[in-house]
Amino acid sequence: MSDRRNAQSGRAVLFLLVFLILGALAWWWWKNGAAVLPPADDPPAGEEEPPADDPVEDPAEPDAPPALTDADGAVFSYLPVGELLPNSGPGLADDTVYRTDIAFPAEDPVYLNSQVYRFGGGQGAVNGMNGAQCDARNYEYPWQDTFCEKRDRNQPLCPGGGHEGLDIRPHACTKDAHWAIAVEDARVIDIRRHWVTLQTDDGTIYNYLHLNMSGLSVTEGQHVMKGDRIGKISNDFFKSDGTSVPTTTHLHFEMYENYVAEPGDEPLFTKVNPYMTLVAAYARKLGGDE
């Protein structure tokens, strides 16, 4: 009996000893080991996790290019190429910049829009634009394309619309006050009735219409440099028999280039839509890169 009690007492002491050792090991691990092993979702050492209610910022968006402003402080803008006024013609959505280094053909700020379908034009009533050519709404941005407007003739690039160039209103509704200039080095190859024609050494042709023909600064055969003055924007217009029929005060600007209608077609040397070429030139002018 005594031996049995001694054995049971020994086992109890052993169990108590094991329990105490395991408890001591658990306490040590809790104080030391748990601190050494961070939870899996803790941030790396040296980094702080943002508060839950503090949204993570997106990467910074690139700054938009600064707006281009003219000498009056007005912000330059333009409508897409080929987007004409309603009921004014088919347009031609040619976004080609044919020449990347030309000067803009006028010294001062200008406004590209229709002389026929806007205020003061013969067809202004078509879109409710009744009024006079000096209406202030004709002298503001955005620009609007006028190539292929419906006129009294047709041309190959735009059946149903015959306007072969772009209408450019001068800085103010005053004739003989604002200069048209040579867009690049060229020779004056023709002066007649109400237009002046320049041609570059590589063949590009530019027509300037409705200048003050009695006060031109160039003569036929003369070589001009980019930026040279040609004449003042006016309203001269003459029929083939020499009869004067004044138009609105504006510069009609035309450009001849090799034009390929579809890939693989033979190039056609013809009048092209210079709208995007002039947009690019005006942007360079306003940006001081001309």
Tell me the CA end-to-end span of the chain in Å, nearest whole number: 118
Burial class (CB in 10 A: 0-12, 13-18, 19+), 6: exposed
pLDDT of residue 173: 96
For residue 45, the SS3 value is: coil
Q: Do 36 and 30 form a contact (C-beta atoms < 8 A)?
A: no
pLDDT averaged over consecutive 10-residue blocks of the chain (290 residues)? 49 52 55 48 52 57 78 96 94 93 97 96 93 96 96 78 91 97 98 96 96 97 98 95 92 91 82 96 91
pLDDT of residue 247: 93
Domains by residue range for the chain, with CATH? 111-286 (2.70.70.10)
Residue 150 backbone zone (phi > 0: left; psi -120 to 50: alpha; other: beta): beta
d(CA 286, CA 290): 8
pLDDT of residue 231: 98
pLDDT of residue 13: 46
Q: Do 92 and 150 form a contact (C-beta atoms < 8 A)?
A: no
pLDDT of residue 22: 62
